[in-house]
Amino acid sequence: MPSDFERKTTHFGYREVPKNEKAALVAEVFRSVAPKYDLMNDLMSLGMHRLWKRFAIEQAALRPGDQVLDVASGTGDLAKALARVVGSKGRVVMTDINEAMLQVGRERLEDAGVMGNIDFIQADAENLPFVDHYFDCVTIAFGLRNVTDKVTAMKSMHRVLKPGGKLLILEFSHPQTPLLNKLYDLYSFNIIPRLGALVTNDRDSYQYLVESIRMHPNQDALKAMMHEAGFEDVEYYNLCDGIVAVHKGYKY
């Protein structure tokens, strides 16, 4: 059986597509949903995504003056909170591969008055355009599952971290209780695409998002991938019985 590196295709939701086409397909999804992305997050998670992000930020244990890279920043929820923690002497670099999402994020942060210590850079998670050993912390929230080669992306994140720096991954994962897993499937496949159709007039993008969650590695598989990328002392925390998980690992 060929390794992930040797395979010429990857998954886009439940579809198998050429590796070199996935980024463009994902970009089109987020270009379509960007204007109402935050509203849909609130509706889909019943507002819980805000608590999940708060927990991730607590696990980052940032200090004033820290340099933070937020990968796949989307509309900037996490970056905004991170900027407040590191303060005026710190810096948050907000990146996303998708120009439309990054623009929405910039506008939201401008409206919130949180701009003094944030930079905006369009960047690919698999090839981050930053010098080695620079950031105290790298975060990625609900973005890793859309990356074509996750280990390559995490190696890129490892490279730009200082020794002693940490990576925080907040991502949908796999519920641990069989009954909840069944209920979660019923909700995800029957409700979320319909919400997408009603709110964004785009059912297909939210069908992809649901499928992408199911195709994402489970908690232990992602932990092993972080080790493969060079991270040590890797641990994870299940939230809502594993519907979401926070993974944390260090560069030494």
CA separation for the pair 249, 252 (Å, rounded): 10
| The amino acid at 190 | N
Residue 96 annotated as part of some ligand binding site: yes
Q: Is 75 annotated as a binding residue?
A: yes
The answer to the question of whether 119 is labelled as a binding residue is no
Total Cβ atoms within 10 A of residue 42: 12
- Token couple for 239: 């939230």
Establish whether 79 is an annotated binding residue. Answer: no
Angle, helices 178-190/203-215, rounded to nearest 10 degrees = 160
Residue 162 near residue 69 (C-beta atoms within 8 A):
no
Task: Say if residues 125 and 71 touch (Cβ distance below 8 Å).
Answer: yes
Binding residues: 75, 96, 124-125
Q: Residues annotated in the binding site for S-adenosyl-L-methionine, as ranges?
A: 75, 96, 124-125
